[in-house]
Amino acid sequence: MRIGDILHATLTNKCPRCEVGQVFENNNPYSFKNGLRMNKHCPHCNLKFEREVGYFYGAMYVSYGLQTALITLLYTLNMFWWNFASLTLVFIILTLVFALFPVTFRWSRIIWIASFTRKETVGNQQ
Ligand SMILES: [Zn+2]
């Protein structure tokens, strides 16, 4: 699967195989009702998202990578532009990490699914 396809599926909450069905029930990650609830299967192509019990433990590594990239970005911005005191920077980083948790949670799961899923190409099946 190409990086562009993974990015598209991740940013639009779409199934990595068909790019039509939604992975999460709600497009709003901050919805208290069902923002973090996943569909068991793709509503369009019936891809089973959780292939086995514990499948999404691997998504924690993706989440760790995303959070580390965010922290590195904030630290670099502070080094060259912001020049906040260390304690202020830690407060900003912790606030953003917790505030963006629903987004990174969803992105990491979709990236994890996309890493092991081949994109369905219409008209190329024999
Ligand atoms: Zn699908």
Cα(98) to centroid(ligand 1), Å = 30
Cα(92) to centroid(ligand 1), Å = 37
Cα(11) to centroid(ligand 1), Å = 15
Neighbours of ion ligand 1 (CB under 5 A): 15, 17-18, 21, 42, 44-45, 47
Cα 6 to Cα 2: distance, rounded to the nearest angstrom: 6
Cα(96) to centroid(ligand 1), Å = 31
pLDDT at 1: 60
Cα(78) to centroid(ligand 1), Å = 41
pLDDT at 122: 61
Cα(118) to centroid(ligand 1), Å = 11
3-state class (DSSP) for residue 82: helix
Residue 22, beta-bridge partner list: 14
Q: What percentage of the chain exceeds 70 in pLDDT? A: 94
Give residue-wise pLDDT tens across range 82-100.
999 999 999 999 999 999 9
Q: Which of the four pLDDT bands, split at 50, 70 and 90, describes residue 124?
A: very low
Mean pLDDT of 104-118: 93
Cα(80) to centroid(ligand 1), Å = 43
Cα(76) to centroid(ligand 1), Å = 38
Cα 65 to Cα 22: distance, rounded to the nearest angstrom: 24
Q: Model pTM?
A: 0.85
Give residue-wise pLDDT tens across range 33-79.
888 899 999 999 999 999 999 999 999 999 999 999 999 999 999 99
Cα 93 to Cα 77: distance, rounded to the nearest angstrom: 12
Secondary structure element (H or E) that encloses residue 78, with its range: none
